[in-house]
Every structure is written in structure tokens, then in C-alpha cells.
Amino acid sequence: MADALPNIILMNCDDLGYGDLGCYGSTLNRTPALDRLASEGVRLADFYMASPVCSPSRGAMMTGCYPPRIGFGEFEGRGVLFPGQGVGLNPDEITLATLLRRRGYATSHIGKWHCGDQVPFLPTRHGFDEYFGIPFSNDMGRSFHFERAGRPQPPPLPLLRGEEVVQEQPEQASLTERYVEEAVRFIRANRRRPFFLYFAHMHVHRPQIVSRRFLEQSRNGAYGGAVECIDWSVAVLMAELGRLGLDSNTLVIFTSDNGSKGLDGGSNAPLRGAKATTWEGGLRVPCIARWPGVIPAGGYCREIASAIDFLPTLAGIAGAETPRDRRLDGLDLLPILREPGARSPRREFFYYQRNKLAAVRLERWKLHLPTGELYDLQEDIAESTDVAAAHPDVVVRLRARAEACREDLGDDLTGVVGRNCRPIGRVADPKPLTQYNPDHPYMVALYDGTVG
């Protein structure tokens, strides 16, 4: 049966907004490969990451848990992980990659990890046979931004192969091309066995350092160039799957780690808010799934779904058993992917901002807890009209769901400590992966561009 297991490619972008793709309404960015992916699969309209910022959303996606469940709400008082921190994804957590590897999958992670840069936290310690990429955000290296702001320079940006730094301060304009080459190599090497490729793009996080081809053809500046570079990468991988005859037995999923910042050409339209907020624009992101013969082409799904659902969904597809010794928050989404009109097992979703429970959604309704504002997301996707006064019974129901969530996962807003949270991973004496050496022949001494 191992030969019948589908290959899985999960592509995750950095800060790509809900309105940044043609198939999600963009008229600025050219995304023909992604538009085709959507036309040949299903486009999810109500898909959420578990956090409006990157480290928590990525840890949640890998483990099938809300961030506070795995100690990923905060990182020693910071919203995301920084180079050299002594915390990260606990080695005791079981990731999607670990489950698939147990089923005989070859596993590779290419690109941004951002779940901890100390050795026990790296991808190779969390189920991936191979890793090639930058273990955190592309703005966390030496740059003119820090010099202009009079702030201390971080260590040089590390590019890792496995657990070894193979380059410091790599040229970012060519990095996506290197990632694609690595992905093609992995697919070719494992074409006769099931494989899982987690491809996490550098783009469109700032600084947007884009190769000349995409910059010159963009109608939306560097941001649009970054989006079109992502689209090019999708075209290459899909062409390779076709060339190798793997197209019909490969599930491809495309999404983003959180919403756009809404700057420099990024868009979350028609949603309200942006990255780092718990308005829809912070956590609701594009998600496309394509699997010929299983997922009907041209689908459009308005059911609630989340990245924390990937682990049980993909584990189920691969016949892998999910952990029974711990609580998970994910649900199996395969029915809504393969059956148009099917109802999602996910009826509710909780919006966390760090360790604060900021909002709860139950079916069509969303309640912002600090303000008491209620929105009907079925009729008002932009969260423009508060209808709490007209639906007091709905407010009561959602507050009850929030209270149950607080008891389970905790809430810094109300001071409730969750009963079922696990600790973040910790190491003693953490060190950055690199140290600045003025005599080192860096390819790029200082990155330029807008850092965010």
C-alpha cells in the first residue's frame, strides 16, 4: 500500500495577504500558476492561521494545536522568536512531518522555519530528513535598517543545510531560485516513494529583495514582484510533477502564515485589519488545495477551516495515527475538500493574540471579546457593522464558548491559566548560529530595503 500513498507538498508564504492573488481578487499581481491551481482544485474562503504573526502560526500548523497549547503564545515576552533565543518548539511535540515519516514518507523542509534556531528545535529534530533554508525571518540579519535606526546589528543571517550554516548573509534576490532548485532535487530523488515537502517562502516579508526579472515586470513594485516570484515557483514545481508523472498522485496545498501588513502594495481586501491584529485580515489567508481525482476542480468552499487542521487531515490521508497521549485542536478536513457542499467539522475558531483570547467565531458569528462587538461574517466579511445589540442571545452563546476556551488554553486578558497547556522547549546557554566577523567575505555586507 505504501506505493499508493499520495505525495504532499505544503507551500507556506510569509505575510501574503488575502487579497494578493488573482484568484482571490487581486488586479495588481499576476498569479497565473496559482490561479490555475485554484481552478484545478478548491479555493477556501474562510481559512485561518492560528495566529496573526509567524512563529505561533507555524508552530501551530506543524503540531495541530492552538499556539498557547504548545507554549507558543509568547517567547520570553516577544511576539515571535529571535536569533539565539533559548526557547523553541519542544522536542517532545509531535509534528506532521514526524507522523508522515513514520509512514515511510521522505520529508524535507525548505525555507523559513521560525520555530527556534537552537539545535533541539531545528526541523531535523522535528521529523524532517532534510532542511535547507533560513531558520527565521529574512529581516533578522545585518542590514542598513539597523544602521540608520542606530540600533545594534543582529548576527549575520544564516543559511542552513541540515544543522550546519553553509552561508552567512546570502543574496536574497536569488534565494527563492535556490529554494526551487532544492525542491526539484528532492522531488526527483524521491519520485519512487511517497514524499512530504514543506516549502516555506521567504516572500513577501520585508525587505522585499526581488530578482530583476520579477521586479521589472511587476505592476505593484517590489511587493508585486515578490508575489510573482512565488507564482513562478509554483509553476516550476507543477511542471516538474507533470514531467515525472506524479501530478495525479500529489496533493498540493498553498497558503500564508498570516495576513499582509497592508503596506507597500500588500492587500487583505475585502477584509478589515492586517498582520498582528485579530480582525479577519490578520488571520484569514488564502488557501488552495489541488489533488486530481480526489478534490473536484473549480471548488469554492465557505466552510470554516484552519491550518491546525492540516495535521489530522494529512495524517489521515497518509494512514498515520495521530497522537493519543496529548490534546490536539485540529480536525479532519478531507470531507470538505473532496465533497462540494459538505459541512466542516470545525464550527468554531478562537483568535489568539499572543496569550490573549481576543475573539471567537461560531459558524457565521464573530465576537470581539474586549469590545463586545459582534459581526455576521456571512453578510459582513469586512466587519463593518456591529450587530451585538440586535443579537444578545448570540453574544451569550459566544461568551460561553470563550469561557470554555479560557479554561482549556488560558487567557492573559482575564488572568485565567489554561488547564491543558504544554511547555515551550528550552535550552541552557543558547547562542546565535553566527557571529559577525569583519574579515569574512560576505556576499552581502548589509541588506537594504524596508525591514518589517
Over residues 382-398, the pLDDT tens digits come to 999 999 999 999 999 99
Whole-number pLDDT of residue 66: 98
The 10s digit of each residue's pLDDT in 161-172 is: 999 999 999 999
CA separation for the pair 109, 450 (Å, rounded) = 27
Provide the 3-class DSSP secondary structure of residue 78. Answer: strand
Confidence check: pLDDT of 158 > 70: yes
- Walk me through the domains of the chain, giving residue ranges and CATH numbers: 2-338 (3.40.720.10), 348-421 (3.30.1120.10)
The 10s digit of each residue's pLDDT in 23-80 is: 999 999 999 999 999 999 999 999 999 999 999 999 999 999 999 999 999 999 999 9
374 and 365 Cβ atoms separated by less than 8 Å = yes
Whole-number pLDDT of residue 4: 83
Whole-number pLDDT of residue 365: 98
Q: What is the mean pLDDT of the chain?
A: 97
Please work out, in degrees rounded to the nearest 5, the angle formed at the alpha carbon of residue 408 by the alpha carbons of 403 and 412: 70
The 10s digit of each residue's pLDDT in 291-349 is: 999 999 999 999 999 999 999 999 999 999 999 999 999 999 999 999 999 999 999 99
Whole-number pLDDT of residue 452: 37
Confidence check: pLDDT of 2 > 50: no
Query: Which is it for the CA torsion 247, 307, 139, 145, positive or negative?
Result: positive
Whole-number pLDDT of residue 1: 33
Please work out, in degrees rounded to the nearest 5, the angle formed at the alpha carbon of residue 139 by the alpha carbons of 136 and 140: 55
- Side-chain half-sphere exposure of 161, counting CA atoms within 13 A: 6
* CA 123 and chain centroid, separation: 15
The 10s digit of each residue's pLDDT in 221-238 is: 999 999 999 999 999 999
Confidence check: pLDDT of 450 > 70: no
pTM for the model stands at 0.97
* Residues with catalytic roles: 54, 114
Whole-number pLDDT of residue 8: 98
Provide the 3-class DSSP secondary structure of residue 302. Answer: strand
Confidence check: pLDDT of 3 > 90: no
Whole-number pLDDT of residue 76: 97
CB atoms within 10 A of CB 293: 9
Whole-number pLDDT of residue 254: 98
The 10s digit of each residue's pLDDT in 341-384 is: 999 999 999 999 999 999 999 999 999 999 999 999 999 999 99
**CA neighbor of 377 nearest in space, from 308, 309, 303:** 303
